[in-house]
Amino acid sequence: MSDYVKATNFTAKDSLPSGNSGKIVKGSEIDTEFNAIASAISSKTDSNSPTLTGTPVAPTASAGTNTTQIATTAFVSTAITNERTATTTLTNKTLTSPTINGGAITGITDLAVADGGTGVSTIAANAVVLGNGTSAIQTVAPSTNGNVLTSNGTTWVSQAPASSVTSVNGQTGAITTTNIDSIGTTIVAVHAVTAIGNSGFTASIDQNATVAGSALRYLYNYTPANWGPAPPTNQSIAGGLTNIGYNQGGTAPAGTWRCVGRSAVWDNPYNSDQNQSEARWYPGLFVRIS
């Protein structure tokens, strides 16, 4: 693109005296001027929708200018930098997948649960958080040392543990063992039978069966038919044993018991090898349930 520069000063010719050869306008001068004008015109851009080539330049407007003048790359770069570093207030704006790198968000209310928040500004230290539908969350403080989190059917509360607990066989209350036959205690006992005389196991209490205490005898003072204490697993008695009265010895516990390990009575009316009759009591393990 070039500018038109006038080659001949035609006004100056008018002041020349008559007869001066320079006063004459020559065709070559006119031709030179027209060629220069044509060259300048052809290299200029149109003012309406021009197409520019090369690296056109324009004056850079000051930051914040908001007019129809041309914005240079320098103006745009400054505007972008200022926008990124400026503190901006967003009012009723929608941001899609924004990335926040540091800084702080201030001047907003607590984010609602429906929007992914908690509905509260702070949560007490060590508190247990409770859901509350779309309303703000609730919390339960630890309260007193030793408390437990307990449901009251509607919500959760921190309170002291109940003094009673569910224990053996659905019984309510803590297990106490102040007596040897208190609920929850265990004993080793034998099955009390009033008579023996049939070969083989004449009586037994199977595992998990319940039995009245009156059908048991404490092993430690078991005395079958007044023949002295029985060994833990075997009692051999010389002489005939017919309808031995078991209830002549031993003490029966109170209450109801559950058999943990099977108890049985076995008898052999006559052992020819030993020339005697035998009876064996096999003790079992029992736990009191009521």
Tell me the domain boundaries of the chain: 10-43, 113-159, 186-288
Q: Which residues share a beta bridge with 278? A: 236, 268
pLDDT at 153: 87
Query: By the 8 A CB rule, do 13 and 19 touch?
Result: no
Q: What is the pLDDT of residue 244?
A: 31
Neighbouring C-beta atoms of residue 211, cutoff 10 Å: 19
C-alpha 73 chain-centroid distance:
52
| Rounded-to-integer distance, Cα 45 and Cα 50, Å | 6
Residues in the chain: 290
Q: Are 261 and 209 in contact (CB under 8 A)?
A: no
Q: Mean pLDDT by 10-residue block, N- to C-terminus, for the chain (290 residues)?
A: 81 88 88 87 80 86 91 92 77 78 75 85 88 89 86 88 62 60 80 53 74 77 42 37 38 86 62 54 81
How far is the C-alpha of 108 from the C-alpha of 104, rounded, in Å?
11
**pTM over cut 0.85:** no
Please tell me the predicted confidence (pLDDT) of residue 225: 44
| Element counts in the chain: helices (H) and strands (E) | 3, 13
How high is the pLDDT of residue 248? Answer: 37
Best CA proximity match to 237, nearest among 191, 202, 269: 269
- Rounded Cα–Cα distance for residues 117 and 134 (Å): 10
Which stretches of 138-275 are assigned E, i.e. beta strand? 138-140, 148-151, 156-159, 186-191, 200-205, 210-212, 216-218, 235-236, 256-261, 263-271
At 281 the three-state DSSP class reads: strand
Q: Determine whether 257 is exposed, middle or buried from the number of CB atoms within 10 Å of its CB (0-12, 13-18, 19+).
A: buried
Angle at 98 between CA 94 and CA 104, to 5 degrees: 100
Give the integer Cα–Cα distance in Å for 270 and 268: 5
End-to-end Cα distance, the chain: 115
Lookup result for tokens 């508190």 = 127
Whether 289 contacts 279, CB under 8 Å: no
Please tell me the predicted confidence (pLDDT) of residue 77.
92
Closest-CA residue to 286 (of 148, 170, 184, 174): 184
